[in-house]
Amino acid sequence: MNALVGSLLDVVLLALQLYSYVIIASAIFSWLYAFNIINSSNQIINTIGRVLYNLTEPALRPIRRFMPDLGGVDISPVILLLIIWFLQNFIARLAYGI
């Protein structure tokens, strides 16, 4: 039974790591889009942007609701990455006794 729980926690850790990469990609994409570095009229770019937005917005929306207005600076991805980092450390300590 310990092997099953350990394997499930490994999958959760991997999913959290992959989601953190998606958050970072979404933040970089939004900067590139905002500074007009990438072509916003390209259909592939718009599709990538929509996919990244749909993957990250459900997790970022509750954080943005509680964050004060910082004058156009959005630090909600940083807050979410810190939460993911905390969860990863908590799960690793729980699973491996580190």
pLDDT by residue (tens digit) across 55-70? Answer: 999 999 999 999 887 8
pLDDT score of 98: 63
pLDDT score of 6: 83
Burial 29-67 (b: 16+ CB within 10 A, else e): bbeebeeeeeeeeeeeeeebbeebeeebeebbeebeeee
Average per-residue pLDDT for the chain: 91
pTM of the full structure: 0.89
pLDDT by residue (tens digit) across 7-39? Answer: 899 999 999 999 999 999 999 999 999 898 998
